[in-house]
DNA sequence: GTCTGTTTGAAACATACGTTTGACGCCGTT
DNA sequence: AACGGCGTCAAACGTATGTTTCAAACAGAC
């Protein structure tokens, strides 16, 4: 067995268990048991549990951010100066995710859930790590979004981006959805691609909704359609 | 000091700490320290940490579900047989939440974050508790949604509801946004009402988006607008 | 005032965690 | 054949957790 075999077995087991149970709720002993390696191997190869968490993310995120950069390059080249549309930008992102070379068919679902957990569980070290390591593609995506929705005020755009992020991360990170994806609980086939093809129109429509009708929050009556 | 004083002090401290740090990451010792009560008081009054978590939810959710029922009653009465529109249904929900008698101004934000955590952290016992205790108003909301979007297929509606839930729970539960809400980090005032007034149009537009344009997931080219 | 059931207090319990240790086996190099 | 670095292993470390214990303090009823 090569030396890196243990490292990969740990990463595989950790990725799956973190996605299923969250970070704090997954112990190193669970991971090493599932990976069939010794408990000390984690601290030997990664240094600490937090560093292992970072490694799990880096294994997916580093090649993904490269793929995303080239997708954005291609998109902007195709648009010849004109800013890409919202739909194009969203599709570039989701297609990059879907096209990622995956270790197995559930790779993306698992990783989407991990991303959701990263945002939701207040693991300070993880947020800091992700923001430091991958600020560049993230900032570029934000810039594209801004150029694609010039009609929105900065505040409106800020909140709607938050909503998009929420719909995406939460959907992928909700255990129900994950279970559906993984074991096809619904009759229909439920691939990540299919979810994405449902999600993108939802997001685009919400993002381009008419001016937020600021219904006075204290009014007694609700406006009728 | 009355007997229930300790109980309420524990609930207050637990609610706040759970919202800040999550359930697993919050120890009983943190809670009892913040509440200035003895460690054993939690197990004496609630029986276990899990039961404490349930009690935190029940303290908010029980009066809220009652408020929501009357709001739905009023809405349906006003519509005289016609099914309420999507906007009306969403507003009835958010207004019920906003109108809840709160212990303090940040009550709703905190509780929204707790709800998001409940869905996200795979705490099996919590999900089971919530589904058992509050299935009735939840089911009623789902029925109203169904009647308000008859054009959607069941599968489309299922996923779009998931998206709505995600945008809402995630927005309210993201720690960044929470921090902004709590201490007005942004220049503009950011109340829960204001967020809701931005969120509802986003959700309604997404929910009523045109038929999901099922772009073939494997196609090389992206459709252009 | 005394008694009875309820609530608090400090301390201990058993368990699980992340991490560290030191011995052991392996393998390529000298 | 002896060495030395590397990876593995079982075992232990110190700490933190949820929970339990039992005596003391308190309340209201008689």
DSSP-assigned states of every residue in chain A: --THHHHHHHHHHHHHHHHHH-STTS-HHHHHHHHTS-THHHHHHTSSHHHHHHHHHHHHHHHHHHHHHHHHHHHHHHHTTSPPPHHHHHHHHHHHHHHS--SSTTHHHHHHHHHHHHHHS--HHHHHHHHHHSHHHHHHHHHHHHHH-TTS-HHHHHHHHHHHHHHHHHHHH-HHHHHHHHHT-SSS---HHHHHHHHHHHHHHHHT-SS-----TT-SSPP--
At A213 the pLDDT is 53
> What tens digit of pLDDT does each residue of A107-131 get?
777 888 888 888 777 677 888 898 8
Query: Given an 8 Å threshold on Cβ–Cβ distance, is A122 in contact with B20?
Result: yes
| Segment B176-191 mean pLDDT | 60
Rounded-to-integer distance, Cα B77 and Cα B10, Å: 40
pLDDT average, residue stretch A46-68: 94
Residue B202 in tokens: 């986003």
Considering only CB atoms, B217 lies closest to which of A75, A98, A159, namely: A98
Residue B26 (CA) to nucleotide D29 (C1'), in angstroms, measures 41
Question: Of A176-180, B32-36, B105-109, which one has max mean pLDDT?
Answer: B32-36
Q: Quick one: pLDDT band at residue A1, thresholds 50, 70, 90? A: very low
pLDDT (mean) for A52-57: 95
A197 to chain B: closest CA residue: B214
> Angle between the B86-99 and B49-79 helix axes, to the nearest 10 degrees?
130
Specify the pLDDT at position B220: 41
Contacts of B188 in chain A (CB under 8 A): 155
pLDDT, average across residues B95-101: 82
Out of A85-89, B134-138, B153-157, which region has the weakest mean confidence (pLDDT)? B153-157
- Predicted local distance difference test score (pLDDT) of residue A114: 87
Give me the pLDDT at residue A97, please: 85
Residues in chain A with CB shorter than 8 Å from the CB of B202 are: 159-160, 163, 206-207, 209, 212
What average pLDDT does this structure show over A134-159?
92
> In this predicted structure, what is the pLDDT of residue A179?
59
Enumerate the residues of chain A whose CB falls inside 8 A of the CB of residue B75: 222
The reply to whether B198 touches chain A by the CB within 8 Å rule is yes
The pLDDT assigned to A175 comes to 61
CA–C1' distance B10–D24 (Å)?
Answer: 22
Q: What integer pLDDT is reported at residue B149 of this predicted model?
A: 94
Q: Which of A174, A209, A223 sits opposite B202 (nearest CB)?
A: A209
Nearest neighbour of B197 by CB, restricted to A98, A210, A214? A214
pLDDT of residue A28: 97
- The answer to whether residue A153 neighbours chain B at the CB level (below 8 Å) is no
pLDDT above 90 for B222: no
Q: Give Cβ neighbours of residue B176 (< 8 Å, ≥ 6 apart).
A: none
In percent, the amount of chain A with pLDDT more than 90 equals 51
Q: Report the pLDDT value the prediction gives residue B112, as an integer from 0 to 100.
A: 81
pLDDT-wise least confident of A10-19, A39-48, A163-172, A198-207: A163-172
Å: A40 CA to D7 C1' = 11
Sign, Cα dihedral of B222, A106, B168, A176: positive
Q: What is the pLDDT of residues B44-57, one digit of tens each?
A: 999 999 999 999 99
Q: Is the CB of B33 under 7 A from strand D?
A: no
Considering only alpha carbons, which residue of chain A is nearest residue B120? A174
C-alpha B59/C-alpha A29 separation (Å) is: 36
Residue A117 contacts B where some CB pair is shorter than 8 Å = yes
- On the question of pLDDT at A187 being above 80, the answer is no
- Pick the more confident residue, B221 or A76: A76
Is the pLDDT score of A180 beyond 70? no
Candidate from B24, B222, B223 with C-beta closest to A24: B24
With bands split at pLDDT 50, 70 and 90, how would you rate the model's confidence at A178? low
Q: Is A2 on the interface with B (CB under 8 A)?
A: no
């Amino acid at each position: 067995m090569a030396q890196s075999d243990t490292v990969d077995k740990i990463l595989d087991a950790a990725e799956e268990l973190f996605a299923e149970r969250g970070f704090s709720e997954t112990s190193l002993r669970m991971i090493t048991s599932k990976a069939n390696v010794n408990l000390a191997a984690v601290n030997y190869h990664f240094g600490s549990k937090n560093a292992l968490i970072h490694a799990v993310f880096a294994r997916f995120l580093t090649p993904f951010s490269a793929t995303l950069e080239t997708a954005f390059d291609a998109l902007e080249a195709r648009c010849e100066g004109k800013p890409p549309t919202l739909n194009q930008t969203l599709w570039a992102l989701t297609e990059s995710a879907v096209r990622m070379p995956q270790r197995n068919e559930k790779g993306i679902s698992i990783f989407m859930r991990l991303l959701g957990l990263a945002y939701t569980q207040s693991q300070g070290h993880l947020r800091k790590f992700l923001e430091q390591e991958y600020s560049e593609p993230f900032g570029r995506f934000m810039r594209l979004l801004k150029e694609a929705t010039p009609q929105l005020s900065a505040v409106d755009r800020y909140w709607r981006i938050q909503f998009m992020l929420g719909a995406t991360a939460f959907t992928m990170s909700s255990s129900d959805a994950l279970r559906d994806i993984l074991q096809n609980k619904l009759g229909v086939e439920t691939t990540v691609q299919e979810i994405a093809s449902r999600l993108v129109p939802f997001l685009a429509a919400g993002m381009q909704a008419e001016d937020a009708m600021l219904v006075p929050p204290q009014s007694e009556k609700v406006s009728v359609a």
